Amino acid sequence: MAQPDTKAEAKALGDALSAARKAPHNFVALITKGDVVFKADRRKPISTLRKAAKSDGGGTQGGWGLMRVSGKVITLECESEPPTTLAKLVKKHFAGLGHAVQVEIILAGGDADPADPKPELPVSRKVQPSEGATKAMPASDKAAQQRATKDSNSQSAVPDYAQSAKGAAGSPSPGYPGGFAVWHRRQR
């Protein structure tokens, strides 16, 4: 069961998040041992919030600036360069209080630093085998490579006049310029 302070803090955080959806708020997030002291208010200046966070046990490192909330994404625009682990610690702090959110920190230069960066996939590049490598290939691999080359180089079996969406007269017969009626007359 949650402690009374935690319940009050969770309710205050929920109220601050719902108010920050309407208008940006000043925030301070100071790092403690394994957690964060987070303060946010619309009217109070950042210096006052920092003093309050330090008195609640916050350290000297952290981030402060403007907080914006859009849905479940919290964007923290920091005035100075925050520690690299701040986004992850703030997300963990909010989750501990019952608010599952995504935290994104906008650095001083304007670059985004999400809490859960998506791993970049390695870029694969197509390597063309050299002549010597083709000769050293087993016969089954050579055949597979020739089939792939043949399939990529082959043209469509449909003639050019049949690829048009409609005939020249706009009839629904795509295979003959001029439409079905012209073709039928010519066949008699």
Task: Give me the DSSP letters along 9-22.
Answer: HHHHHHHHHHHHHH
What pLDDT is attached to residue 48?
94
- Alpha-carbon distance of 177 to 186, in angstroms, equals 12
DSSP letter at 24? Answer: -
- Alpha-carbon distance of 111 to 127, in angstroms, equals 34
Q: Which residues contact 16 (CB under 8 A, 6 or more apart)?
A: 25, 40, 41
What pLDDT is attached to residue 67?
92
Helices (DSSP H) in 34-178: which residue ranges? 46-55, 86-96, 131-136, 139-153
What pLDDT is attached to residue 127?
47
Asked which of 9-18, 84-93, 105-114 is least confident by mean pLDDT, the reply is: 105-114
Query: Where are the chain's structural domains?
Result: 4-114, 159-188
Cα distances (angstroms) measured from residue 167 to each of 35, 162, 170:
71, 9, 5
Q: Which residues contact 12 (CB under 8 A, 6 or more apart)?
A: none
Residues 160-186: tens digit of each pLDDT: 554 444 444 554 555 556 666 665 566
Average pLDDT for 32-56 = 91
What pLDDT is attached to residue 34?
79
What pLDDT is attached to residue 54?
92
Average pLDDT for 37-42 = 92
What pLDDT is attached to residue 166?
47
pTM of the model: 0.55
Average pLDDT for 16-40 = 91
Residues 45-96: tens digit of each pLDDT: 999 999 999 998 888 899 999 999 999 999 999 988 899 899 999 999 999 9
Residues 128-150: tens digit of each pLDDT: 555 445 455 555 666 666 666 65
